[in-house]
Amino acid sequence: MPNWCSNRLDITLHNAADMPALKHWIYADDGIPAWQTAIAQSLHLLLAGCAGILKPVRPLSFPPLPELTSYGETGPVSPENTAFTHWVEMLITAPDLTPSCCQQIHQWYQMWLSEGGVYHSWDSLTATQKARLSPLLSAGSFDWLNRFTGEDESRVATAWEDIQYLRGTG
pLDDT digits (tens, 9 = 90+) for 95-105: 998 989 999 99
pLDDT in tens, 130-164: 999 999 999 998 888 888 888 888 889 888 888 87
Taking only Cα atoms into account, the Rg of the chain, rounded to an integer number of angstroms, comes to: 17
CA-based angle 62:40:161, to the nearest 5?
100
Print burial letters for 136-157: b (CB count within 10 Å at least 16), e (below 16).
bbbebbeebeeeebeeeeebbb
* pLDDT value of residue 1: 46
Among the residue ranges 24-28, 119-123, 133-137, 150-154, the one predicted with the least confidence is: 24-28
Q: How much is the pLDDT for 144?
A: 84
Q: Is the pLDDT of residue 28 over 70?
A: no
Neighbours of 121 (CB within 10 A): 10
Which residue, among 45, 76, 79, has the nearest Cα to 62 in the 3D structure? 45
Amino acid found at 150: G
**Mean pLDDT estimate for the chain:** 84
Which of 34, 66, 41, 63 lies closest to 117, judged by CA? Answer: 41
Each domain of the chain, given as residue ranges in start order, spans 32-163
What are the DSSP calls for 118-135, one per residue?
S---GGGS-HHHHHHHHH
Q: CA-CA distance, 74 to 150, in Å (whole number)?
A: 31
57-67: per-residue pLDDT in tens?
999 999 999 99
Domain 32-163 grouped into CATH 1.10.3530.10: yes
Residue 170 confidence class, pLDDT cut points 50, 70, 90: very low
